[in-house]
Every structure is written in structure tokens, then in C-alpha cells.
Amino acid sequence: MTTRDAGPGETITLTDLARLAAVGRNAVSNWRRREPDFPAPVDDSARRPRFSLPALEAWAETHGRSLTVTGADRLWFRLSSAHSTAEAALEAVVEAFGGKGDEQLVAEVRTLAEETLAFDLLEFFIQRAREAAGTGVPPGIAPLADIAAAVSAEHTASQVPMTVYDPACDEGDLLAAVAAKLGPCSALHGQDLSGARAAIAEQRLRFLDVIQRGGGPVDNRSVGKADVAARVGDSLLASLPADRYDLVVCDPPFNVKDWGYDRLPDGDDPRLAYGTPPRTEPELAWALHCVALLAPGGHAVVRMPAQVAHRRSGRRIRSELLRWGALRAVVDHPEAKAHIWILAPRGETTQLLVSNGRDFTEAWLNFTAAPDAPIATPDSVTVPLMRLWDEDVDISPAVYLASTTGTTEDLADAVAHLGIRLGEIAEQPLPRFGSGPELSAPETSLGDLERDGHLMVVAGGETGSGAGEPSGVRCVIVDPVGEPPVRIGLSGEETETQWTIRCEPTVDLGWIAAALSARLPAASKRTATGAKRRILSVKIPRLTLADQQRRGAAFAQIEELRSALTAAGRQAEALAAEAAAGLVSGAATVQD
């Protein structure tokens, strides 16, 4: 079952137990509820009670259940119990990786690193800390890395190692993702306000560089060839670094009010070459900062809120970036949940490339090979700069992609498909509702139902993870800040910012979806822990299973109709845009 003796201070949560036992959280809740000898918590004061790991191991062995507990698990459990926060425990581990801090911890980390790659070991601790804090990988990292690799393809083909920089590196997720796609780099630099986050990023990048150059477990501590450094400081307000980079990537913080507008550098700072960003446009300050750090031939790939593409307050800087050829492309990638700007040093250009990301790699290759040649595909289009210099200087890809036209055959097919969908919708059965008195019934919370093992609330992106949760299972998908807030779907369809609720046969899934639709509190902020707390607080009337199923089936029929109408609406919107563009241009004609 285990390879090391358990320490007396090792405590874990039920979520930890589910991972160690390779079962779902529901199964663990059932063990606690149904097994009279299940160990009592040693700390029940927090929202997530902690249990003694040795006691749980003994209980599991008695009941013939297997727990896989590694040395890394044991070390993390002990550290998380000894520190006030998961972030503090992670800081201690990172210090130990660097040979600093508690000597015993340093020795333990080195022993573990003899058995596995140090990079994988550090990633394990980072993942555990994020699980405990209720956070995850920031959204948009994958598409940013993909686009960064696409714009760097010519450089990487030359087999000359690149220099890469991230001025808002956080814990290094973006730098690591980009470096993994580019291969060994000559320099990986970052900067962050937090010394702890910068230290994590630097250690991750050092270990990644060792792996990329052929390092293994026995030489985890060997030094790679890349110049790896993560500085501490405010990138926007500190002096501009002397180094210039082949690639600058950035996922800056959005909507920060006190970002230092009053303390911006004066004089001939290169970051102000295209103007001073308005107080209400901190994201533009990040874009200008990234451009100023580019070496000749370099590119910056920056995630930007969609509003920055059209807000009037930023139109002067957008105009200057276009005028001097610094803004080359804008991608409205759906997975980024924002726009991605591709910037370059000043140069001659007559067009802006806009894309939804689907064929960006091919479109960028064609765009750079023939900068003045037009591109017009359903997913990417070049826009002449003269068309952009109007009162708004709107660079939103959706504005220009909507005006691209398909063929007349495409329009005919779209009309036929929409007609078939509407016919299918018209044949869908609908419930017959009557009226009745509003009767009060005993209620329970969704949190109580989860604790008692009737259902399980899982963060988006955890499907198919080590917790043993299957994909493709019918579930309720909750989006605390998006539309629709509640829908019925399949696990695996949710995004990282959504949640899934999977039900045991003891409760009806449609009934749970109906209660959530009626009573889910409005979102106040985009935080994982806040979202789950709102979900678990929803009160569910206690009904017999038969009554739940009757009411749940009625709601499920309405929900299926809503989903079908939404899909048809999107289809109709796309058809209207294509038809308008075709009719105005003359590419589409109307038959009598």
C-alpha cells in the first residue's frame, strides 16, 4: 500500500483521499456516511475538515481498499498541515529545491528528486497547492502558446535558440508552455510583483531547460544552458530592462484601477513612443511595454480584453500602432476568452490580419510571406489600414470576419440546414403545465447533498484527471458568470471556468438543474472558491424521487428546447451575416 512510514502530523482532506484511492468524491462521501468505523476528522473547524492519514490508511487496509501514497504525497500533506496556507507550503518546497531553507526539507526533496524528474516533482507540488487554494491554470495559456509558436516558426526553423520574456510571469505557466513548444531557448526571463511567484517560475523554467537538453533524474540539479531568471518588480513602472528579446509573451492582469498611471516614466521612455496610455487603459500600457522590449525581427504576443479593441479612450494609441506597423494581427480565439494581439517593431505594412484562430498558423504564414496580398477565408481576413482609420479605429476581428462571404452554394446549404433544424425543434415534445398552490417543503442545501454522497460538484477541467472521473456522463453544467448559468450536458463539455454536478440515482439530475436555475445566487466576482460556495448554498426542496423525476423531466424538456433554439439562433445569425454580405456584394442572388 505504501513505501514509507506515515508521520504523525500528516492530515488530508476528503478530496485528497479520493485522489489517493483513485475514486470519485461521491464514493468517499459514501464511505464516511455509511461506514460506522470511518475515522473522525482531527480538525473540523475549517470548511474542508482534515483527517489523519495514518488512521485512514489503517481503515482502508481493514476494508480491503488500496491507497497509493507516494513520498511526494506524504511530504505535501505534512507541509500543508504545518503551514497556514497552501501558498506558504509551496514557497517552502521551492526554497528547498534551490537548496535553501530547512535542511531536513532540502534533504527530503533531493531524495525524492533521485526517483523522478525534478520538473515533474515541482509540478506535482504546484498542482496540489492550487487544488487546496481552489485555483487552476489561468485561462488562455494554451492558445497564447500556440500563437506564440506560430509567429516564431520562421525563427525556430533556423535552429537558432530564441530569447523569450514575460513581464507578468506569475508562476511561469505561460513561459513554460511557450518554451515547451519552442524547444531549448537561449534565454527565458520573467518578472512579477511577487517574489514567491517569481521564484516558482524561475525554478520551473530551470528544470524544464534541463529536461529539454536531455537531463534525467540523476542530474536533476545540473545546470541547463539557458539563461533563466525571474526578476521581482513592477514591470510598467520600473526602468526598462536593457535586454531585447526575440519573443515577448504576456497575459497581463485585466481591469486594474490603481496600476500606476500617475507614476509612469517621463521623458523619452521607449514605452511611450506611441503615446501615453489613458488612465482607463492599463492593458494598453502592457502592450506598449512588450513592443519596447522587442529585438529586430521579434514579436510580442499579448492577451487583451476584447473591449480594448474598440474603446474610444484608446483609439489614438491603436491608430499609432497601426500607422507605424507595430500592430500586425488580432486574434479573437474562443479558448483565450479575450483577444490576442501580435505586435512587432516598427515596419512597413498596409494591412492588419484578423482571425478567430482556427487557421491562424496558415494565415500568418501567408501574411508574412506576402504582407500586401489579401487573405479572405471564413476564419481569417486581412483588413486594409485605410479602412481602419475612422472615428473608432475598431480592430475587433468579429467586425471584419462577419463581412467575408462564402459561395452561393454555402448560403443554400446553410438555409437547408437551418430549415431542417427548425423542423426538428417544432417536433420536440413539451410538458403540459397546470397551476397549483405554492406549498412549502423541507429543504436541504446542495452542499449537504454532496457531503452525504448524493451528488458531486467538480471544477471544470478536472474530468478525466487522476480522480478517476469519467467524461461523457450526463451532468448539470453551471457557469457562475456566463450564459446560460445552468444547462444539462455531458461531462467534458465544460470549460475551466465552469462546474459540473453529477448525480447518484438517489436524486434526479433534471430536478437539481431546475432548482439551480431558479435559485443560484448571482455572481459577485470571478473566483473558483466563491463560485463553488454559491453553488453549494442553493437550497433544494426535499421531494420523493418520483416527484423529483416528474418535475425534473419537465424542466429537462424545456432546457432541451432552449438549447436547440440557442443553437438555431446562432445558425440564423451566421446565415443573416453571410446573406447580407453576399447580397450587398452581388455574390449571392435571389431566385424567383
Task: Render pLDDT for 324-339 as a digit per residue (tens, 0 to 9).
Answer: 999 999 999 988 889 9
**Confidence bin at 5 (pLDDT 50/70/90):** very low
**Confidence bin at 343 (pLDDT 50/70/90):** very high
Residue 359 has pLDDT above 90, yes or no: yes
Q: How far apart are CA 276 and CA 415, in angstroms?
A: 49
Q: How far apart are CA 116 and CA 122, in angstroms?
A: 10
Q: Are 424 and 553 in contact (CB under 8 A)?
A: no
Query: Which pLDDT value is given to residue 471?
Result: 65
Q: How far apart are CA 205 and CA 169, in angstroms?
A: 11
Query: Which pLDDT value is given to residue 403?
Result: 54
Residue 418's contacts (CB-CB under 8 Å, 6 or more residues apart) are: 568, 571, 572, 575
Task: Kindly state the greatest CA–CA separation across the chain.
Answer: 86
| Cα–Cα nearest to 502, from 494, 493, 490 | 490
Q: Are 90 and 106 in contact (CB under 8 A)?
A: no
Write out the three cell numbers for 170: 506569475
Q: What does the pLDDT average to over 293-297? A: 96
DSSP secondary structure letter of residue 108: H
**Confidence bin at 392 (pLDDT 50/70/90):** confident
Q: How far apart are CA 245 and CA 585, in angstroms?
A: 44
Q: Is 457 helix (H, G, I), strand (E, B) or coil?
A: strand
Residue 534 has pLDDT above 90, yes or no: no
The lowest-confidence range among 194-198, 438-442, 497-501 is: 438-442
Q: What is the mean pLDDT of the chain?
A: 86
**Confidence bin at 528 (pLDDT 50/70/90):** very low
Q: How far apart are CA 326 and CA 148, in angstroms?
A: 16
Q: Around Cβ 124, how many Cβ atoms within 10 Å?
A: 18
Query: Which pLDDT value is given to residue 199?
Result: 95
- Domains of the chain, CATH where assigned: 11-133 (no CATH), 141-401 (3.40.50.150), 443-542 (no CATH)
Residue 94 has pLDDT above 90, yes or no: yes
Residue 63 has pLDDT above 70, yes or no: yes
Query: Which pLDDT value is given to residue 47?
Result: 66
- Quick one: 437 exposed, middle or buried, by C-beta within 10 A (0-12, 13-18, 19+)? exposed
Residue 515 has pLDDT above 70, yes or no: yes
Alpha helices of 439-544 — where are they, by DSSP H?
A: 446-451, 509-519, 528-536
Query: Which pLDDT value is given to residue 7?
Result: 47
Q: Is 566 helix (H, G, I), strand (E, B) or coil?
A: helix
Residue 179 has pLDDT above 70, yes or no: yes
Task: Render pLDDT for 450-475 as a digit per residue (tens, 0 to 9).
Answer: 988 899 988 876 544 434 456 678 89
Write out the three cell numbers for 155: 525563427
Look at the alpha carbons of 113, 115, 118, 124 in this order and tell me if their dihedral is positive or negative: negative
Proportion of the chain above pLDDT 70, given as a percent: 90
Element of type H or E holding 499: strand 499-503
Position 332, amino acid: D
Query: Which pLDDT value is given to residue 391?
Result: 82
Residue 75 has pLDDT above 80, yes or no: yes
Q: Is 232 helix (H, G, I), strand (E, B) or coil?
A: strand
Residue 39 has pLDDT above 90, yes or no: yes
Residue 219 has pLDDT above 70, yes or no: no
**Confidence bin at 446 (pLDDT 50/70/90):** very high
Q: Cell 424521487, residue?
A: 545
**Confidence bin at 406 (pLDDT 50/70/90):** low
Q: What does the pLDDT average to over 419-436? A: 86
Proportion of the chain above pLDDT 90, given as a percent: 50
**Confidence bin at 187 (pLDDT 50/70/90):** very high
Query: Which pLDDT value is given to residue 409?
Result: 62
Helical packing angle, 195-212 and 118-133, nearest 10°:
150
Q: Is 340 helix (H, G, I), strand (E, B) or coil?
A: strand
Q: Cell 505535501, residue?
A: 76
Q: What does the pLDDT average to over 267-283? A: 88
- CA angle at 283 for the pair 261 and 188, rounded to the nearest 5°: 105
Residue 225 has pLDDT above 50, yes or no: yes
Q: What does the pLDDT average to over 357-371? A: 94
Say if pTM beats, i.e. exceeds, 0.85: no
Query: Which pLDDT value is given to residue 407?
Result: 54
Q: What does the pLDDT average to over 254-270? A: 83
Residue 216 has pLDDT above 70, yes or no: no
Q: How far apart are CA 343 and CA 329, in angstroms?
A: 7
Q: How far apart are CA 400 and CA 202, in angstroms?
A: 40
Q: Are 359 and 380 in contact (CB under 8 A)?
A: yes
Rg (CA), the chain: 27
Q: Are 199 and 91 in contact (CB under 8 A)?
A: yes
Q: What does the pLDDT average to over 370-380? A: 91
Write out the three cell numbers for 533: 460556495
Query: Which pLDDT value is given to residue 27?
Result: 86
Query: Which pLDDT value is given to residue 218?
Result: 41
Q: How far apart are CA 122 and CA 203, in angstroms?
A: 8
